[in-house]
Amino acid sequence: MVVSKSWTMVKHFAGAPKPEDFKLIEKELPPLQEGEILLESVFLSVDPYMRPYSRRIMKEGDVMIGSQVARIIESKNSAFAVGGYYVGNCGWTTHFISNGKGLHPLLSEWPGSLPRSLALGTVGMPGVTAYFGLLEICNPKEGDVVLVNSAAGAVGSVVGQIAKIKGCKVVGSAGSDDKIQYLKEIGFDEAFNYKTVSSLEEALKKASPEGYDCYFENVGGKFADAALPQMKDFGRIAVCGAISMYNDAVPPSGPYIQPTLLFKQLRMEGFLVTRWSDKYQEGQKQLLKWVLEGKVKYHEHITKGFENMPAGFIGMLSGENTGKAIIQV
């Protein structure tokens, strides 16, 4: 009999998630039926979307939502062999039974030497978000100036590197001096620590006195208030996230943006990566190729131990991670 451990959300988060908002439960899994497989999670993902979506789609007591790279440890389904690795979307859980629906194999060209955890990061959902969000919404051209915030994170670090591949000048912001150092190492032209600059406006102007053609928005709030007026005419803004506001029960009121959008003739568009579900693999394959060619570098912030999953999630939301935040079971 296999015992599965899961983390549940005891009560809806009020402000930033706290350790006492989570509870570890254990459940004995039943024997497999014909057509079923048993998987064990090897790597789990902690992502910012879990904070706003906990309120939208979860009830108190539910297992936390999320995805994992999992290995098949028992199979009664001839299409799924024991030992195979799949990306699942089965929540914060160590073991689960599946009929195979909704499980995605790692790309067939995945080399054994590459960490499988990248299927949750640079070559997974965050990477694909960066790929399509940047290329299809910001539509960067050679020579454009691209701005990205939360730049040292899973999505932002890929956005900046793809923009460099496309011949752009790239400016990034992040929340520590170590992260700024990392951004320089992976090829950002300019980077600043938004927590220590005396003025966001001045830092943005200094990094690109001529303004910005593209703005890949991960943060929202005060950062956006400072960045929008510095867009060039006909600039493009991809609204990917608003992490500075995820803990707010009521969004803070900000400056009205319509005059800026109007007189600069800007285009601003929100998106969810699910928009590109039909060509998700195309993005993954390109990202894998770039990683293997060394054109896109990756960094992972790995928290060891399933028991530390809430801490890894809380830490990611407060900026502990450089690159993708991963839990290794």
Interface residues with ligand NDP (CB under 6 A) are 47-49, 126, 129, 150, 152-156, 174-176, 179, 218-219, 240-241, 243-244, 271-273, 316-317, 319, 321, 325
Residues 6+ apart with CB under 8 A from 113: none
Output Rg (C-alpha) for the chain, integer angstroms: 20
| Separation of alpha carbons 102 and 146, rounded Å | 35
Alpha-carbon torsion angle 209, 210, 212, 213, nearest 10: -170
Question: Minimum CB separation from ligand NDP for residue 246, in Å?
Answer: 7
Q: What's phi and psi for 14, nearest 5 deg?
A: -115, 110
Question: Minimum CB separation from ligand NDP for residue 86, in Å?
Answer: 20
- The residues facing 38 across adjacent strands are 74, 97
Question: Minimum CB separation from ligand NDP for residue 7, in Å?
Answer: 19
Question: Minimum CB separation from ligand NDP for residue 10, in Å?
Answer: 23
| Separation of alpha carbons 1 and 53, rounded Å | 33
Q: Are strands 212-217 and 190-193 parallel, antiparallel or unpaired?
A: unpaired
Q: Choose between 63 and 219: whose C-beta lies nearer to ligand NDP.
A: 219
Q: Choose between 91 and 160: whose C-beta lies nearer to ligand NDP.
A: 160
Q: Are strands 145-148 and 169-174 parallel, antiparallel or unpaired?
A: parallel
Question: Minimum CB separation from ligand NDP for residue 184, in Å?
Answer: 15
Q: Choose between 97 and 162: whose C-beta lies nearer to ligand NDP.
A: 162
Q: Choose between 53 and 264: whose C-beta lies nearer to ligand NDP.
A: 53
Q: Choose between 152 and 237: whose C-beta lies nearer to ligand NDP.
A: 152
Q: Are strands 300-304 and 324-328 parallel, antiparallel or unpaired?
A: parallel
Q: Choose between 158 and 266: whose C-beta lies nearer to ligand NDP.
A: 158
DSSP for residue 322: S
Question: Minimum CB separation from ligand NDP for residue 166, in Å?
Answer: 19
Whether 172 and 187 have beta carbons less than 8 Å apart is answered as no
